[in-house]
Amino acid sequence: MRAARYILSAVVVAALAAATLLSAEASSIRVKVDDQPITTYDIQQRTLLLKMTGAKGGEKVATDELIDETIQFIEAAKMGMGVSEGRVDAAIDDIAARVKMTPKQLSQALAQQGVDIATLRRRIKAQMIWGQLVQARARLRGGSVKGSDVTAAMFADGNAEDIKTTEYTLKPVIFVVPKGSSGGYDAQRRREAEAFRGRFRGCDTIMEQTSQLKEVVVRSTIRRTSEELQGSPEGRDIQETPPGKLTRPLKTDDGYAMLAVCTAKSIQSNAAARVQAENKLLDEINKDLGKDYMDELRKKAVIQYM
């Protein structure tokens, strides 16, 4: 799921008139989806957020979107799928950077318009969850294309010849945060990761620089091409990080992870053209899959309007 879907316009945020909302405590249940409540507060929050993104339709669209998301979260739980808070943090960081704010400033800007940052976080998480569910459904339905079709598509697009791509050599650096650690220790480890990022001297001395640090793990080198990085905040972060520098700390199950960008070199690669052609064919195959999947889940769900 592309980070561009999550972008908020700073101009729209500034132009939106302040609104007075019901407090979460005073809100009442408007809809139940398989006994999961959606409140007046939830709907009012989402209505404001949608206005800030330029969407139309008011409370009805907001309510329908929240119903769909609740159904999606229920389905994801059944499938054992989830999205880490670290991925959501990265998306928030990406939004803030695009409107030239820090995440804290973005949160404050939303609050000034009566929107809790949790409302945006939920929407981002739902979009990520839904992307995972649709991809899983595509795999179950044999969502693949034949090599001969990919080759034909490459010729049709004029991409049969090798094209240039960028290959990144990366080294993961993890500031470990043991499970069950306090919030204070978690925040301390994030600060330590940020401080290390600021004084990082490059991949050649990475082992020397981390050898004296407590609970810091350096993992094996990995390689990724530009095509493999498309569609994720992490990929954008890698592409915007100069060689010899570290990406921003991202919260994972192990702690705070950063990627040292050791090299970024342009290479001739027929694989890049193949990936582009294959993705285009897959989009055609699966273009209606998400809609059909959502329609199927809605028919199974018990939706009660209060």
pLDDT tens digits, one per residue of 158-217: 554 555 678 899 999 999 999 899 989 999 999 999 999 999 999 999 999 999 899 999
Phi, psi for residue 157 in degrees, rounded to 5? -85, 0
Tokens of 169: 């050599």
Inform me whether the pLDDT recorded for 8 exceeds 70: no
**Who has greater pLDDT, 42 or 153?**
42
Calculate the alpha carbon distances from 78 to 40, 71, 75, 96, 133 in Å.
Answer: 27, 11, 5, 33, 11
Beta strands in 26-113 (DSSP E): 29-33, 36-39
Is residue 18 scored above 60 in pLDDT? no
Share of the chain above pLDDT 90, in %: 47
Half-sphere exposure (CA, 13 Å, Cβ side) for 179?
2
Residue carrying structure tokens 């929407």: 123
Lowest mean pLDDT among 3-12, 37-46, 140-149: 3-12
Strands (E), the chain: 29-33, 36-39, 163-176, 216-218, 222-225, 245-246, 250-251, 255-269, 303-305
- Report residue 166 as tokens: 């960028």
Report the amino acid identity of residue 218: V
pLDDT band at 17 (very low <50, low <70, confident <90, very high): very low
Q: What is the mean pLDDT of residues 101-113?
A: 92
CATH topology of domain 7-140: Triger factor/SurA peptide-binding fold (1.10.4030)
Closest alpha carbon to 8 in 49, 46, 43 = 49
Q: Please give the pLDDT value at position 60.
A: 93
Least confident of 93-97, 228-232, 248-252: 228-232
Q: Which residues of 20-46 are buried (b: 16+ CB within 10 A; e: fewer)?
A: ebeeeeebeebbbbeeeebbbbbbbbb
Domain with CATH 1.10.4030.10 in the chain: 7-140
Q: Which pLDDT score, from 0 to 100, does residue 262 have?
A: 95
Percent of the chain with pLDDT over 70: 75
For all residues of the chain together, what is the average pLDDT? 81
38 pLDDT more than 50: yes
CB atoms under 10 Å from CB of 226, counted, come to 19
User: What does the angle CA 62 – CA 9 – CA 44 come to, to the nearest 5 degrees?
Assistant: 25
pLDDT digits (tens, 9 = 90+) for 75-86: 999 988 888 888
Residue 1, pLDDT > 60, answer no
C-alpha span between 298 and 16 (Å, rounded): 33
How big is the chain, counted in residues?
A: 306
CATH 3.10.50.40 holds for 163-269: yes
Residue 21 has pLDDT above 60, yes or no: no
pTM for this entry: 0.56
For residue 232, the model assigns a pLDDT of 66
The residues of the chain that CATH labels 3.10.50.40 are 163-269
